[in-house]
Amino acid sequence: QALNNLHLRIDYAPNYKFSKSSLPPVGGTSNEWNLESINPGENKKVVVTGSAVGPENSNFGFNANITADAIPRKESIVKFDFI
């Protein structure tokens, strides 16, 4: 069963500056995307580019949240790769 009305929101670290993304963000934002629908076995990818400034060896926290109309079963449906 497809997941419909997927919406991605990323809360950036305070010192992170968004530059661009592979999909256009929701109007006027730099951290929200409508991904529409995804079928079983299908992959969707959003590449976000930006920069963070801080002391050497700093850690920066990001929170990502994906919502959909209904998630039919309890499975891991999202993979995040941070580079």
pLDDT tens track for 35-77: 988 888 888 889 999 998 888 888 888 899 888 886 655 554 5
Kind of pairing between the strands at 48-52 and 32-38: unpaired
Q: Give the pLDDT of residue 2.
A: 83
Structure token pair of residue 50? 């930006």
Global confidence as pTM: 0.78
* Span 5-26, average pLDDT: 93
The answer, yes or no, to whether residue 80 has pLDDT greater than 90, is no
| Torsion angles phi and psi, residue 54, rounded to 5 | -175, 180
Structure token pair of residue 73? 């079963």
Q: Give the pLDDT of residue 11.
A: 94
Q: Give the pLDDT of residue 57.
A: 85
